Every structure is written in C-alpha cells, then in structure tokens.
Amino acid sequence: MPLKPVRLEPIAFCPLLVGNWKMNGLGSAVAEAREVAEALRAEPVRARVAICAPATLIERLARAVKGSALIIGGEDVHPEASGAFTGDVSAAMLADAGARMVIVGHSERRQAYGETNALVAHKAMAALRGGLEPIICVGETLAEREGGHALDVVCRQARGSAPLASDGMAFSLAYEPIWAIGGGQIPTRNQIEEMHGALREVLIEMFGVPGGVVPILYGGSVDQGSVANVLKAREVGGALIGRASLSATEFLSIVRAAE
C-alpha cells in the first residue's frame, strides 16, 4: 500500500537539512545514523533532518532510527512502478524499505548518466505516486555561470523537472551550483538570493499559491561554518549536504549551527 502523501503546508518553511551519502556506506555506517537519531531525540531541533542513503542501507537505517525524528530517504528512483528494469529501484520498493524521501535529478546523474529534465520530472511523479517526497536538484556549471546563463539554465531545469501533476503533494527543489560541490566554494549571498528568488518565481508561476511554500534547498560545500549564513539568505529553505553528512559528528554540528 502506498504511503500517505505529505501535503504542502506552511510548516514546510521550517528548514529541511538533508544528508546525501552518495555511493558511500556499508553496514557499519548504520551507527552514524543511529547517533544522529539519538541526538535528535535528546535535543530536538526545529528543522526537519533527513539522510538519503544507498538503497542497500535504507531498510537497516529505517529500523535503526525508528521512532526518531530522523527521516530516511533514497538517492534515486525509477520512473516506472515495476517491470524489467534490472538494477533499478521503484518508489514502492524504497517506501517498503522505510524511505520517506528521495533525491532526483542530482547533477552527478544529469552529467554522468545523461538524465534529462523530462526524465527527472517522471521520476519526481513516480516518487509522489509512491508516497515519497522528492527532492529535485537543479544547478549550473562553471562555464554556464561565467557565460551569464546561470539563471536561464537553472530556471529551465526547474520548469522541466518539477512534477506538474503534484496535486498539492510535498516536494522540494535543491539548487546546487555544480562548480561549488565538493570544492569548498560558496556563492555569495547575493548570488544565492538571486537564484533562489528566481526559482521561487518559477514555482509560483507553475503552481500558484502552493509554489510559495515549496522548500528551496541550497547544496554546495555546506559545512558548519557556512550553513547559518546560507540559511539566512532569502528563499533558502534548507540545505543538501554531501561529504559532511557521512559523519554523525560533522552532520550534527551542521544541524546545530543551523539553529
């Protein structure tokens, strides 16, 4: 049975902090997620906190953090509900394993696997139909930024990747400037606000009033030192965190700094 869909509500404006483990983590990594969950039990935070992990770990993570505020998610999903797609994972499978969210359209998948906006939109809709909350990634390369095309590129991605038939179900956008990922570079506050403001206009144009409460996350070398300033920028509704989320200590330091 599909999960009950999460609805877009004003509460979505509380920050959403998502760790993306990428292709990292064996069974021993369950202890890291358990430590995060226990810390959130002991000292609750106002943010929603999630870890999106490899499919091999989702069921173990979900069991380990059951009853806590920590949300477990996947890193990708197939656009079809089932079928002869060897090696792929459907939304129903992710939900059955204990996932509540899923990342779609990450720049690494767009670049390495040639994922198009249309495919990302299909994946987002598949996630929604399965009761998952998709996090839809958009972002520009350094060449696109330096060529003055960043706004056009990213807004085009958002228009083409957002789930048009979302029917009020919750999803997020994550703006990740590709040139900043993993390199320690952070766009200026003005650059972040300009991009997030443009994305907000796209969401309202596409979805009307509900588009005003879709969280727009920032992703790109977010750490303890930068997260508070990033979250103060206009229209930033959270953060997508990569390498630093692999360590419970580092991830929790970011979560606490976001308060």
Q: Whole-model pTM? A: 0.94
CATH of the domain at 44: 3.20.20.70
Average pLDDT, the chain: 93
Whether 176 is catalytic: yes
Buried b (16+ CB within 10 A) or exposed e, 223-233: bbebbeebbeb
Q: Determine if residue 31 is left, alpha or beta; phi over 0 gives left, psi from -120 to 50 gives alpha, anything else beta.
A: alpha
Residue 181 falls inside a structural domain: no
pLDDT, tens only, 16-32? 999 999 999 999 999 99
Residue 58 falls inside a structural domain: yes
> Does 9 have pLDDT greater than 90?
no
pLDDT, average across residues 143-147: 95
- Give just the sign of the alpha carbon dihedral 73, 249, 229, 187: negative
> Does 221 have pLDDT greater than 90?
no
Residue 112 falls inside a structural domain: yes
How many structural domains does the chain have? Answer: 1
Residue 5 falls inside a structural domain: no
**CA angle at 122 for the pair 243 and 143, rounded to the nearest 5°:** 50
Q: Determine if residue 17 is left, alpha or beta; phi over 0 gives left, psi from -120 to 50 gives alpha, anything else beta.
A: beta
Q: Rounded to whole angstroms, how far apart are CA atoms 76 and 183?
A: 23
> Does 2 have pLDDT greater than 70?
no
Domain that holds residue 241: 13-175+201-257
Residue 190 falls inside a structural domain: no
Pick the catalytic residue from 78, 106, 122, 196: 106
Pick the catalytic residue from 32, 115, 140, 176: 176
pLDDT, tens only, 160-211? 999 987 777 899 999 999 998 876 678 999 999 999 999 999 999 999 998 9
